[in-house]
Chain A
Amino acid sequence: MTYVLELEKLESGYGETQVLFGVNLKARKGQITALLGSNGAGKSTTLWTIMGIVKPWGGKILFNGEDVTMLPPYKKVNIGMTLVPEGRRLWPQLTVEEHLIMAASIPRSKERAQEILEMVYQLFPRLKERRNQLAGTLSGGEQQMLAIARGLMLNPVLFMLDEPSLGLAPKLVQEIAETISKLRDEWKLTVLLVEQNIHMSMQIADYAYIIENGRIVLEGTVDELKENPMVKKAYLGL
């Protein structure tokens, strides 16, 4: 098994408050790895720390076997690490197309830009229809599509998503789940999915970690976890 991303005893936090206490996690190549947990467990902080937006306090981040612990965020993007952040974080005054152009213009994706753009428009025909519309005027579902599309334009190897289902209607959650599966099956991306929506994640993920209070408390293949009594009780409500 090859790992695209490996976290070794990762520690970080904000100011004086430590949030992560030695997180060990691996993202398997070509699979969807889910990081699950409740509010405030440290899921988003893990992603921010992986991207270098929050500086790691200790531990190591390996990407394709290379130590990238202290690289600044924009350099990480240029080696193929992409994060679709929580709350989408679009630029409301820029059009759909401007979002995509900006992402496609980094050195990493420049040469493949046209090709990826066509694939992205194929994945989200709706964005093509709205390409001249300001991002701030899109609906919630469309905004999530645009956030994912912007990430895809960066020509990623590792695709991380922070709560893509947040604030979406159940039907749209299902669509996003299908899209993420496609990214693994058709785009051949390695996905790290962070979610509170356990049902949706268990449905598409191959391997999962459960985080509580900044520590990984449980890990296993999705089939294993589904049978785990603790998961059944605490997360699946069975």
Chain B
Amino acid sequence: MEFISNIIYGLIYGAILGAVASGLTLIWGVMKVVNLAHGHLAVLGAFLAVIFYKYTPITIDPSLSPIIAFIIGALFGIFFYYTSLHVIVGKAETMTLKVEMSSLLSTFGFGVALYGLLYYGSAQGWYLQFEGLTGWTIQVGGKPYFEILGVSIQYSWLVGLFYAVILIALVELFLRKTVWGLAIRAVAQDSRAVALTGYDPVKVKLLTTVLSTAMALSAGAIFTLYIQNGINPDLEHFLAPLSFVIVVLGGLGSVIGTFIGGLIIGLAYGITMALTGTQAIALSVSFVILVVILLVKPQGLFGR
């Protein structure tokens, strides 16, 4: 029974990791900006969730924080674009490897700055955690969890799962069903042709960055619904590599692939936990899975 519990926890966890990676799918998989700040942006979202709950005059329930983090993330995305990306990608006609590498460096710089800021904040005594705040969890009938077939599941995890699925469905719809989604895909392939087709390429790139940043922050807030304590800047060291693994695993630019990739990694965590009783080597296991899948299918599960 414990094994089954671990599998189910792993799947919920995986869906949430997929949500964390979905913003990266958009900016890296589709627009070809290697956004090394992605993990830091997610951590910022997690911080915001705690700040809203703990440090604002009006307490905002964490179950609403993904929405607020999304809005703040969108504004922050404008700042992120004009400080780190505009000079590099704004005028780029096609996202060549050279442009990709430059974007890697500039977003790395932005990420380090953000990390420093969050770290400074933590050192100042706002080491942020939900510890001792068990009261916030969503309770139904006086209990924070429910049991089904002997597996107990927290309500807050369900809320997190709900948001994760919504977020991923949102990007998929945006990319497949809207013209702006088409424009984003086109702009990475030939941005001059996008201008000749009546769209402002800079606007398209800005929009992509804004959306991706909003998703990163929102996913960070969703993540707090799952882990609930120990939110600190170093979370990035875990979220960023996993996001990259998930995006590559699913296939660059495939949103559904990202979701499935997330579930696979979540399962790896669940099974590792069930077999070894600790998650210590789960990150390594994730990379082994990545290598194996890339050997069999170099373009990723859903890549074309």
Give residues in A with beta carbon < 8 Å to B: 51, 53, 72-74, 77-78, 82-83, 85, 89-94, 98, 101-103, 105-106, 108, 150, 154
Contact = CB atoms under 8 A, between A and B. Distances in A.
A94 B193 CA distance: 13
B179 A101 contact: yes
B197 interface: yes
A78 B200 CA distance: 11
A154 B197 contact: yes
Contacts of A101: 179, 182
Contacts of B190: 89-91
A94 B185 contact: yes
25 contacts: A51-B196, A53-B192, A73-B195, A73-B196, A74-B198, A74-B201, A77-B196, A82-B196, A85-B193, A85-B196, A90-B193, A91-B189, A91-B190, A92-B189, A93-B185, A94-B182, A94-B185, A94-B186, A94-B189, A98-B182, A101-B182, A102-B183, A102-B186, A102-B199, A103-B198
A78 B179 contact: no
Which of B189, B190, B193, B198 has the most CB atoms of chain A within a 10 A radius of its CB? B198
A29 B37 CA distance: 53
Given A94-B186, A102-B186, A89 B198 contact: no
Nearest to A93: B189
Interface in B271-296: none
A83 B195 CA distance: 10
- Dominant SS among interface residues on chain B: helix
Nearest to A85: B196
Contacts of B200: 72, 74
Interface in B192-225: 192-193, 195-201
Contacts, number: 61
Contact of B198 (A53, A77, A90, A98): A77
Contacts of A154: 197-198
A108 B193 contact: no
Contacts of B182: 94, 98, 101-102
A91 B196 contact: no
Interface residues of B, number: 17
Contacts of B304: 93
B14 to A, nearest CB: 28
Contacts of A83: 196
Nearest to A82: B196
Contacts of A53: 192, 195-196
A54 to B, nearest CB: 11
Interface in B21-74: none
Contact of A74 (B179, B186, B189, B195): B195
B227 to A, nearest CB: 37
B93 to A, nearest CB: 9
Given A72-B200, A102-B179, A91 B186 contact: yes
A106 B197 contact: yes
A78 to B, nearest CB: 5
B185 A91 contact: yes
Contacts of A77: 195-198
Nearest to A108: B198
B203 to A, nearest CB: 9
A85 B192 contact: yes
A71 to B, nearest CB: 12
A93 B199 CA distance: 18
B139 to A, nearest CB: 47
Given A72-B200, A101-B179, A91 B195 contact: no
Given A82-B196, A106-B198, 17 more contacts: A53-B192, A78-B198, A85-B193, A85-B196, A89-B190, A91-B189, A91-B190, A91-B193, A92-B189, A93-B185, A93-B189, A93-B304, A94-B186, A102-B179, A102-B199, A105-B179, A154-B197
